Structure 1
Amino acid sequence: MRYYYAEHQAAYQRLAEEGLTQWNDLFEADRTADFDAFPNRAFLEHTLADLDLPPTPAALEYGCGTGPAACFLAARGFRVDAIDLIPEAITLARHFARDRGVDVNFSVQDICTMPPGTKRYDVILDSYCLQSIVTDADRANLLTAVRDRLSGYYVLSTAMYDAERVYEDGFRYDATTGICYQATTGPAPDAVNLDGTWYLPHRRHLHPEALRAELEQAGLEVIYQDNGNVVATYQAR
């Protein structure tokens, strides 16, 4: 089981059990009790209006969770494919889409392991997924999957380095790589030993310039960036 699976499976199981609607509802300080008040909604409302898109654009959202952003796009005329690696998340997403009368093609897939595809998208959306994809290899695979499917705009919202963020006991932040590790009980797939303690990759919190450099190294051109909110394009050479 990959390092990013267990946490997310447990989270979406809890969402279903407690009747919650989206990831932020798991945290009391962020809870809104409003499915449509997802964290990057304001960014999307502002950004999508400025993009040069066809009348019925095709969109892919990966790491869609319970689907609030995917439903938001579908309600605005997008033809939306939305994927998440957690089956419980997709079950909830389909339920919420039906409740809202919007058509989204949801499926269970892992963006890090997607095979090459021929379908192209006017918008590929990341709503706070990338920070949970931690290792260099996984992030490279993700960005390759994005680049190879992109005919328009990569619209990204991701958590970034915050000097005021406190990493609690059991977590270790590497300022060189931006990786936050979580202590684990012993050797496991993806685990690393640091100073005699085993850790699993947990999050990646980069500075803005490091995020831009990573996207550019993957062949993407950043045309807008406000901290972790980014719009990028790709022109095949």
Structure 2
Amino acid sequence: MRYYYPEHLAAYRRLEREGLTQWNDLFEQDRTDDFEAFPNRAFLERVLPEQPADVLEYGCGTGAAACFLAARGFHVDAIDLIPEAIRLARRFAQERGLDVNFSVQDVCAMPATSKQYDVVLDSYCLQSIVTDADRSRVLTAVRDRLKPNGRYILSTAMYDPTRVYEDDFRYDATTGICYQKTTAPIADAVHLDNTWYLPHRRHLRPEALQAELQRAGFHVVSQQGGDVVATRLG
């Protein structure tokens, strides 16, 4: 089981059990109880194409952004790793009379495809994809799925000097990786200072995120912190 699976499985099971609608509802300080008030909505309203287009959203969670797009006439394929998340997303879309093609897929192991999109969207998924190899696979999959004039629209959590990492967490400022203590050398664990850790988050500085995207074959059109619009190079 990969490092990113248990946390997300537990979170979406809790969402389903407690009748919540989206990831932020798990955190009292961010809780809105409003499915429509997802975190990067204002950013999407600014940067989405004016005309309906074909969109792939990966890491869609319970489908708030996907439903937002579908309600505006976009044709949306949306994927998430966790079956419980997709089950909730389908229910929320059906309740709103929206047509979204939801499916369960691991974005770190996406199959080859010839289908391309006008927009590939990430609404706070990339921060949970931590290792260099996994991030490279994801960004390659995104680039392959973008039409030549398509846009990669990305929202991701960034390095914040005021963020406090609790005792079970360790932040590596060189790589931007936040590790979480684990009790055994399970898959993906690393051994640091006689303690086992699992990759947990990647919190990069803006310039490091931009450099990563450029290495992966993207041109950054605009960036405000972790809100990025990029296009394919070549």
TM-score by length of 2: 0.98
The residue matched to 1:145 in structure 2 has which SS? helix
Return closer, same or farther for 1:235/1:176 CA change in 2, 3 Å cut-off: closer
Q: Give the CA deviation at 1:56.
A: 3.2
Deviation at 1:70, TM superposition (A): 0.2
Aligned ranges 1:119-138 → 2 under 5 Å: 119-138=115-134
Q: Tell me the equivalent position of 1:44.
A: 44
Residue in structure 1 matching 2:187, options 186, 189, 202:
189
- Which residue number corresponds to residue 25 of structure 1? 25
Query: What letter corresponds to residue 35 of structure 1 in structure 2?
Result: F
Superposition RMSD on alpha carbons, in Å? 0.8
Letter in 1 for 2:183: T
Shift of 1:235: 3.8
Q: Helix, strand or coil: the match of 2:161?
A: coil
> Once the two structures are superposed, what CA deviation does each residue of 1:187-227 show, in whole Å capped at 9, x if it has no partner?
01000000000000000000000000000000011000000
In the alignment, residue 39 of structure 2 is paired with which amino acid?
P
Find the counterpart in structure 2 of residue 94 from structure 1.
Answer: 90
Is residue 144 from structure 1 mapped to residue 140 from structure 2 by the alignment? yes
Alpha-carbon separation, structure 2, partners of 1:170 and 1:19: 29
Match of 1:221? 219
**Cα distance in 1, alignment partners of residues 112 and 13 from structure 2:** 30
Report the residue type matching 1:128 in the other structure: Y
Structure 1 residue 179: Cα displacement: 0.1
The letter for the 2-side match of 1:36 is E
Q: CA deviation at 1:115?
A: 1.6
Q: Report how many aligned residue pairs link the two structures.
A: 232
* 1:112 pairs with 2:125: no
Letter matched to residue 88 of structure 2: L
Q: Are residue 172 (structure 1) and residue 181 (structure 2) matched?
A: no
Show CA shifts across 1:158-212 (max 9, x none). Answer: 0000000000011000000000000000101000000000000000000000000
- CA distance in 2 between partners of 1:98 and 1:72 (Å): 13
Letter in 2 for 1:46: R
Structure 2: stretches of 5+ with no match in the other structure: none
Instruction: Give the deviation of 1:57 after TM superposition.
Output: 0.6
In structure 1, the partner of 2:7 is 7
Could you tell me how far 1:111 is from its partner in structure 2? 1.0
- Tell me the TM-score normalized by structure 1: 0.97
Give CA-to-partner distance per residue, 1:17-45, whole Å, 9 cap, x none: 00000000000000001000000000001
- Give secondary structure in 1 for the equivalent of 2:68: helix
Aligned partners of 2:81, 2:213: CA distance in 1, in Å?
23
Distance 2:97 2:37 in 1: 18
